[in-house]
Chain A
């Protein structure tokens, strides 16, 4: 596709529900990142994939958060037993190669936990 695609664009979940957020990166991009952005703040790193390998998950806030990229393209971020503090915009970004490559961001998924 032309850019990074994320779905759904908006998600409302009741506290305790599980959610799955999808990211379709630019074709051929090796690196994929998930970031969490709270209102009025900069993106905060969650996790990083190089192809299908999850090389860094140091930013995941708890074991309720899980991400996968099984075939090295589409990625899913899953949040189990959602809490109100999980409400944020979840941004996915991809880049062509290693260090020094620009990140191409999707429009994000706005998650609201009620």
Chain B
């Protein structure tokens, strides 16, 4: 039931765009996105709830396709500070805890 994230790793130059995908084999209630830098706590980015909405702040946005049970995280005009590992956490109706994917390692180079 662990969501599948792709790609596993990506290297970008500053200013380039990236898309990270998260797929579930089970019907989703919610998708959370977090970023974790080495040795630090995961930091919340955004939540998408069932309903196919798109959310965003600054140059990071996300979509949730309920039919396909997929979410995508969009990073535009990447900055050095975007480097880290991105995790999606999936929520299912009736289960409070999130199930996390194995992460996408993003490295932004100057």
> Which A residues contact B (CB, under 8 angstroms)?
4, 31, 33, 35, 40-45, 48, 50, 55-56, 59, 91, 98-108
User: Is B64 positioned at the interface, with any CB of A under 8 Å from its CB?
Assistant: no
Number of residue pairs A-B, CB distance < 8 angstroms:
61
Tell which of B42, B91, B101 touches A99, judged by Cβ atoms closer than 8 Å: B91
**A23 vs chain B, min Cβ distance (A):** 12
Q: Mark B36-56, 1 if CB is under 8 A from A, else 0.
A: 000111111001010000000
Mostly, the A contact residues are: loop
Interface residues as binary, B82-93 with A (CB distance below 8 Å gives 1, 0 otherwise): 000001010100
Are B44 and A59 in contact, CB atoms less than 8 angstroms apart?
A: no
Taking A43-B87, A99-B30, A100-B49 as contacts, is the C-beta distance between A91 and B96 under 8 angstroms? no
Given A91-B42, A102-B44, A56–B30 Cβ distance below 8 Å? no
